[in-house]
């Protein structure tokens, strides 16, 4: 992804990130590590537009723009600590306050999108009559 300046946004929260090892497999093997349910979730996310893959355009003299921040390119690579996969926000009942991100160097952290707040239905208060 990074070599061609692609960024993936909205990766489903409850599945393995690319390259993340599954407990039952010695080495990560890409999409073949995903079980059938996870493959269906991934395909649905792509079809519905929740998961997008975007090519970042050069933004002036060797820079790309990710989340409105200019990031300098070095030999057509984004900095090794730049995120290339942004997971979706965790649901409000999640233990995690932020979604996952995968950085160019393969590191996965929890500094992505903030957890979703309560929906409109759960915040409405019935007014006494």
Quote the CA–CA distance of 100 and 76 in Å, as a whole number: 25
Could you read off the pLDDT of 68-105 as tens digits, one per residue? 555 554 444 456 677 888 999 998 888 999 999 988 88
Cα angle 98, 102, 105; round to 5: 140
Q: What is the mean pLDDT of residues 43-63?
A: 76
> What confidence tens digit (pLDDT) does each residue in 73-82 have?
444 445 667 7
Closest CA relative to residue 79, chosen from 68, 61, 64, 67: 64
Q: What angle do CA 11, 112, 54 make, to 5 degrees?
A: 50
pLDDT-derived band at 43, boundaries 50, 70, 90: very high
What pLDDT shows up at residue 61?
36
Question: If you count DSSP H runs as helices and E runs as strands, how many of each does the chain have, helices first?
Answer: 2, 7
Average pLDDT of the chain?
Answer: 75
What mean pLDDT comes out for the span 40-50?
Answer: 93
Distance separating alpha carbons of residues 69 and 54, to the nearest angstrom: 16
């Amino acid at each position: 992804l990074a070599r061609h300046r692609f960024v993936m946004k909205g990766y489903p929260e409850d599945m393995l990130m690319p390259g993340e090892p599954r407990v039952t497999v010695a080495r990560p093997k890409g999409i073949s590590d995903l079980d059938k349910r996870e493959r269906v979730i991934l395909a649905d996310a792509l079809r519905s537009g929740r998961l997008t893959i975007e090519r970042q355009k050069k933004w002036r003299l060797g820079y790309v723009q990710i989340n409105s921040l200019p990031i300098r390119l070095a030999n057509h690579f984004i900095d090794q600590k730049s995120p290339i996969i942004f997971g979706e926000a965790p649901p409000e009942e999640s233990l995690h306050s932020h979604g996952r991100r995968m950085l160019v160097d393969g590191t996965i952290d929890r500094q992505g999108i903030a957890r979703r707040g309560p929906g409109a239905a759960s915040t409405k208060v019935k007014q006494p009559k």
